Amino acid sequence: MDRSSTQSTASSLNTISILRSYFVRGALVENELYCQKERVWIAYLKLLGEVTSLRADSGADSELAVKTLAQSAFEVNELMRELEESKKKARRLEKDLRERDRTMVLVDMEKDAATHARCQLDEEHASLAKL
């Protein structure tokens, strides 16, 4: 067997291996999607049964439902208030961080300017010492 036919055979085997891997992964993904679809369908049927049961009992439980909705609305409003407070705090912290960064940049610039001025003074001192 010559070298080109060996390379061709290896290439064909590699291609077959890649295709087999591709189809196996495709089958696994398809199986996972099917399982998820089944779980969703089962959950839907359970919820449909609960909704039907609740509708049958709606006359007796309507007052409880109103209380539950009112409590849920209060909880939602409370969570929204907390979210707004968190956003305000985050904005304050962000502003403080920007101010700190700006101050640090100014300090670095002043350090660089002082270092540059000192180098110039050292050079002038050295040139004066030579005279």
Model confidence, pTM:
0.39
Task: pLDDT tens for the chain, 131 residues: list them.
Answer: 556 667 667 677 778 888 788 777 877 888 888 888 888 888 888 887 787 777 666 665 566 666 666 677 778 888 888 988 988 888 888 888 889 888 988 898 999 999 999 999 999 999 988 87
Tokens 């290896």: give the residue: 10
The count of other CB atoms within 10 Å of the CB of residue 61 is: 13
pLDDT at position 121 is: 94
Residue extents of the structural domains in the chain: 1-60, 65-130
Cα-based torsion angle of the residue sequence 120, 121, 126, 129 in order, rounded to the nearest 10 degrees: 150
Q: Which helix (H) or strand (E) holds 34?
A: helix 3-56
